[in-house]
Amino acid sequence: MQINTHDLSTPVFLITPPFTQLNTPYPATAYLKGFLNTKHIGSFQADLGIEVTLAIFSKQGLIHLFESIKKSGKDWSDNAGRIIILQKDYINTIDAVILFLQGKNPTLAHQISKREFLPEASRFAQLDDLKWAFGSMGTQDKAKHLATMYLEDLSDMITECVDTHFGFSRYAEKLGRSANSFDELYSALQAEHTYIDTILTDILKKRMDAIEPALVAISVPFPGNLYTSLRCGQFIKKHYPGVKVAMGGGFANTELRSLSDARVFEFYDFITLDDGEAPLENLLLYLDGKINIEQLKRTFTLVNGRVNYINNAACTDYKQGQVGTSDYSDLFLDEYISAIEVINPMHSLWSDGRWNKLTMAHGCYWGKCTFCDISLDYIKLYEPIAAKLLCDRMETIIAQTGQNGFHFVDEAAPPALMRALAIEIIKRKLTASWWTNIRFEKSFTRDLCLLLKASGCIAVSGGLEVASDRLLELIQKGITVAQVARVNKNFSDAGIMVHAYLMYGFPTQTAQETIDSLEMVRQLFEAGILQSAFWHQFTMTAHSPVGLNPQKYKVKKVSDAIGSFANNDIEHTDPTGADHPTYSFGLKKSLLNYMHGTCFDYPLQKWFDFKIPKTTVAPDYIVNALEQVEASATKPASKIIWLGHKPAVIHFIKSKKGNHWPMAELIFQNKKETTSIKVSEQQGNWLAGMLEKLSVDNSKIYTQQEVKESYEAHSLEAFELFWDNKPVNSLYRFGLLQL
């Protein structure tokens, strides 16, 4: 039974608590606001992370900060003491630095880069060789990195002197990460407000008084947001007892599925799981008295003092085409800060520049990786969005935000949908820069990568994980290292940056496999087909195949106990595997050098201070893999499109030994170069006419079979000989693509 929500009287305040990213808003509240718009339900959203950050890191904020430190009368480390002595330099430069990082004061880069403008403390000790790190990055990026270190110095002082939990994107993360018991968090929340807590609640009070909501919905994507979300809930329930507080988001979805501690509901009234649209709508209907409590959707709440999980199975979730377009109104979009903390090309994308967040498809189309939480709905339930609807949403968001950068936050974007989206972007003449997460599968051919580049794709990231074919099979990744190499080459040749997620410590991984994996990574970087990467140690999670069936993967849980609060990361032992943590430093140090194009000739032993096995990987393994061109038999169903300009056609007569042939020269031009091909007059006329039909601007997309039939209908012979060989097959550089 559908219930009319158009007359709901409950105003909703959507909050992202500190801290996620400083350069762009986390998208959850924008998604929900877009959905509420479709229901004509009034809402207001705020990213309290950026608001708190700007309150601290301002001239007035630093004056107050240093006064607070002075009043404490404590002794500090030499580093904090240096910053306190230089406080006037920090106070006098902070506003200019923030404006620079907001993109409003770009000329300051020249002063910052000379390293005479900013005061420097311990973070700058990392910058011994800036030319090595930023030689190709330019003045702006160098200045952003220096300005980021300046803020990190201040952050270190805050952590030492006023609030031990502080961190720009992971506030009190230790308290929230895999907290099986609520005891430590609960104890921290009974203490007096920290310096940051006070700033947060002062801002929250102003918002609450202005909005006067009946419901506050707090999105908690990460452990680093949990503590501040609880502080928000605590403050609201104390000072605004008539307002209900709901919590949802990625942390709840993965960690709180077995919640039983009633104390949590001293801070929240409701906790919802998985997709938030239907649970939020039902919650609003319940608060307005239109449905009873048993009709709530995927919601924890207290009933008679006990934690109850209520899930009305009759209530279905909304399709992705029904949830509306993300709405970024209310957010301070021009005040976000672009930072470069880590000298890693992909991490720079994460933190530098403002990206609109969208999703191509709900869930994962692969859904098999054994380390992943594939049993949960947010991954298990796969539902793509039509390319035209995606483009509609992109255009709406560009008009609203004035920003045309998009980060598609998919688990793994489907290649077919990426192709359709790219074609739609090009057809609409939409200027966009975008990047996403993928699987390194063979669908990413040379021509598909060129199409993606033409539509504005600038980077992809994907899981190479353990670069070992045995372990990739155990992970059920569905790829091989050789296949990854060929796909990476296609992306790299198209000018699309490639980032690989790398894993060590997967169950049964041996020391030999760890070193062989490092050798594979070294060769990928040396071949120039991988530009960015990051190692992380395997974590066994409760909802993954490994966590659900550890004996199959020859690992053992340390404990079978289920906590009353968060349950996701599972402590385990790996009796047959290597001592995984000992490899961490060497893997990461070598990778830093490889990313900067250095030390490829170093023996792998050099990165470790203990004896490692010699690699068994052939030194030319990746080079050989790239030379093994996969068979590319002509597929009649392949789509053929033309992205280029109309060629000029010049007719001429070719003469040889008294024989004469009418010929055609077709001249092609793109943004960088000009080329020409010479074919028979009949073939040239057909090709020029066919390219017009194949233009991406046309509604019809032709298949290879249809192109062949057209060729033969003009009484032309030997289609494959003409189409699959020079000069025609060299036209991919000018936009003739087979997809």
Please choose, from the candidates 176, 177, 155, 153, the residue with its C-alpha nearest in 3D space to the C-alpha of residue 164.
155
Q: How far apart are CA 434 and CA 431, in angstroms?
A: 10
Instruction: Look at residue 353 in the predicted model and tell me its pLDDT.
Output: 77
Cβ atoms < 10 Å from Cβ of 401: 19
Place of tokens 């999670």: 541
Report domain 355-554+566-627's class. alpha beta
Of the candidates 352, 357, 366, 346, the residue with the CA atom closest to the CA atom of residue 459 = 346
pLDDT-derived band at 466 (thresholds 50, 70, 90) equals: confident
Sign of the CA dihedral with 105 first, then 110, 112, and 116 last: negative
What length does the chain have? 739
* Cis-peptide, bond into residue 19, ω within 30° of zero: yes
Structure confidence at residue 727 as a pLDDT band (50, 70, 90)? confident
pLDDT at position 128 is 53
* Model pLDDT, residue 170: 62
Contact 346, 461 (CB under 8 A): yes
Q: Which amino acid is at 267?
A: F
pLDDT of residue 177: 57
The percentage of the chain sitting over the pLDDT mark of 70, rounded to a whole number, equals 94
User: Can you tell me which residue has the tokens 């959905």?
Assistant: 35
Beginning with the edge strand found earlier in the chain, give each strand of the sheet holding 659-669 in spatial order. 648-656, 659-669, 674-680
Rounded mean pLDDT, 585-614: 93
Give Cα 221 distance to the centre of its chain. 13
Quote the distance between the C-alpha of residue 75 and its chain's center. Answer: 41
pLDDT band at 9 (very low <50, low <70, confident <90, very high): low
Backbone phi, psi, residue 590, to 5°:
-60, -40
pLDDT of 566 reads: 81
- Using the predicted structure, report yes or no on whether residue 167 has a pLDDT greater than 80: no
Per-residue pLDDT band for 5 (boundaries 50, 70, 90) equals: very low
Distance CA 559, CA 573 (A): 10
In 375-456, which ranges are E strands?
A: 383-384, 405-408, 433-438
Alpha helices, H only, 465-605: 469-475, 481-494, 511-526, 545-548, 584-595
The mean pLDDT of 428-436, rounded to a whole number, is: 96
The answer for 428, left when phi > 0, alpha when psi is -120 to 50, beta otherwise, is alpha
- How is residue 189 written in tokens? 């929340």
Specify the range with the lowest mean pLDDT, choosing from 344-353, 397-406, 693-702. Answer: 344-353
Whether the Cβ atoms of residue 19 and residue 171 lie closer than 8 Å to each other: yes
DSSP summary character for residue 319? P
Per-residue H/E/C for 679-731: EEHHHHHHHHHHHHHHECCCCCCEEHHHHHHHHHHCCCCCHHHHHCCCCHHHH
* Residue 344 confidence (pLDDT) above 80: no
pTM, whole model, 2 decimals? 0.90
> Domain map of the chain by residue range?
12-50+172-322, 54-161, 355-554+566-627, 639-738
Q: Which one-letter DSSP state was computed for residue 125? A: G
pLDDT the model gives residue 130: 54
pLDDT value, residue 124: 87
DSSP state of 318: P
| Spatial CA neighbour of 448 closest among 423, 424, 466 | 423
In this model, does residue 172 exceed pLDDT 60? no
For residues 317 and 297, what is the distance between their CA atoms, to the nearest angstrom? 9
pLDDT at 176: 55
Token duo for residue 379: 């991954």
Q: What is the CATH number of domain 12-50+172-322?
A: 3.40.50.280
Mean pLDDT on 578-602 = 92
3-state secondary structure (DSSP) of residue 647: coil
Residue 125: its pLDDT value, please? 82
User: What residues contact 343, with CB distance under 8 A and at least 6 apart?
Assistant: 133, 134, 145, 592, 595, 596
For the chain, the average pLDDT equals 90
The pLDDT of residue 279 is above 80 = yes
Please check the confidence at residue 407 and state whether its pLDDT lies above 60: yes
- The dihedrals phi and psi of 387, each to the nearest 5 degrees, come to -60, -40
Kindly list the strands in the beta sheet with 736-738, ordered across the sheet, starting from the edge strand earlier in the chain.
Answer: 702-703, 639-642, 736-738
Beta-carbon neighbour count of residue 85 at 10 Å? 10
Burial class (CB in 10 A: 0-12, 13-18, 19+), 319: exposed
Most confident stretch, 193-207, 545-559, 711-725: 193-207
Choose the weakest-confidence range: 39-53, 116-130, 248-262.
116-130
**Around Cβ 187, how many Cβ atoms within 10 Å?**
10
Task: Decide if pLDDT at 345 tops 80.
Answer: no
Q: Are 334 and 102 in contact (CB under 8 A)?
A: yes
For residues 185-206, average pLDDT: 94
Query: pLDDT at residue 552 above 70?
Result: yes
The whole-number pLDDT of residue 71 equals 85
Count of CB atoms within 10 A of residue 342's CB?
15
Cβ-based neighbours of 132, under 8 Å, separated by 6 or more: 596, 598
| 3-state secondary structure at position 504 | strand
Cβ contact 69:91 at 8 Å = no
**Which tokens in the block code for residue 375?**
């049993």
The C-alpha atoms of residue 565 and residue 210 are separated, in whole angstroms, by 34
| Degrees to nearest 5, angle at CA 693 with 687 and 636 | 80
**CA gap 333, 335 in Å, rounded:** 6
CA distance 45 to 634: 52
The Cβ of residue 200 has, within 10 Å, a number of other Cβ atoms equal to 24
For residues 262-285, average pLDDT: 96
d(CA 395, CA 514): 45
> What's the pLDDT score for residue 342?
63
**Nearest alpha-carbon partner for 154 in 129, 124, 197, 130:** 124
Indicate whether 343 pLDDT > 80: no
Q: Do residues 370 and 545 lie in contact, with contact meaning Cβ atoms separated by under 8 Å?
A: yes
pLDDT at residue number 6:
47
